[in-house]
């Protein structure tokens, strides 16, 4: 079993839920890469890590993924978490499978993607409404903004799914049977 794991994919697909489960059940240290990316956006704008840079949804995802993947590799190579068994579970939205393959594959790290590609944007909006809590930043956003975001999330999920197939990475569709997909991941995880 790899010492570190990345749980990647789109918002409200179960990434944080799975990461917290792995932390509680197996002792992984949970690291929210989304919080780290937010810190980059606010404190280091010169890096070009910016969710709201005026690009299309997919281009923004590609830019941030391409910048953060080498950063994640550097985190893994620091050895900081190698002394712990298990190490860390990184919960990360903006990491494309192609960048995992290019920059991270081969490090002491496994990965699994959680997506919602098998829905319409309106169904995706309803999923977000179902799973959003007061702790989520999207909980307070207006419905029209969430509906717009739902289109992007479906689009990004379709891209991630295609890339997971291309690079042979595990991918779990959580749009319709979220709890079942998470149980399947946990069964698969035990045997790695």
Q: What is the pLDDT of residues 113-124, one digit of tens each?
A: 999 999 999 998
Residue 60 lies in domain:
4-190
Tokens representing 73 are: 């590799």
pLDDT band at residue 130 under the 50/70/90 scheme? confident
Contact 72, 6 (CB under 8 A): yes
Domain count, the chain: 1
Contact 65, 46 (CB under 8 A): no
pTM over 0.95: no
**53-68 tens-digit pLDDT:** 788 889 999 999 999 9
CATH code at position 169: 3.40.50.300
**Between 151 and 48, where is the model more confident?**
151
For 3-40, b/e burial (b = at least 16 CB within 10 A) is bbbbbbbbbbbbbbbbbebbbeeeebebbbbbebbeeb
> By C-alpha distance, which of 168, 160, 179 is closest to 116?
160
């Amino acid at each position: 079993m790899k010492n570190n794991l990345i749980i990647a994919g789109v918002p409200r697909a179960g990434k944080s839920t799975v990461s917290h489960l792995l932390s509680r059940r197996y002792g992984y240290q949970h690291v929210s890469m989304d919080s780290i990316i937010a810190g980059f956006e606010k404190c280091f704008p010169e890096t070009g890590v910016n969710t709201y840079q005026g690009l299309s949804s997919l281009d923004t995802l590609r830019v941030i993924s391409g910048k953060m993947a080498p950063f994640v590799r550097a985190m893994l190579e620091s050895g900081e978490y190698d002394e712990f068994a298990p190490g860390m579970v990184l919960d990360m939205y903006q990491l494309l499978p192609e960048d995992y393959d290019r920059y991270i594959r081969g490090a002491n790290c496994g990965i699994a993607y959680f997506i919602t590609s098998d829905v319409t944007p309106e169904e995706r909006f309803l999923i977000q409404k179902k799973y959003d809590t007061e702790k989520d930043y999207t909980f307070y956003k207006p419905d029209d903004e969430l509906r717009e975001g739902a289109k992007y999330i479906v689009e990004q999920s379709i891209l991630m799914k295609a890339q997971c197939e291309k690079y042979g990475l595990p991918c779990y569709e959580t749009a319709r049977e979220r709890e079942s997909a998470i149980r399947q991941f946990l069964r698969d995880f035990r045997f790695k």
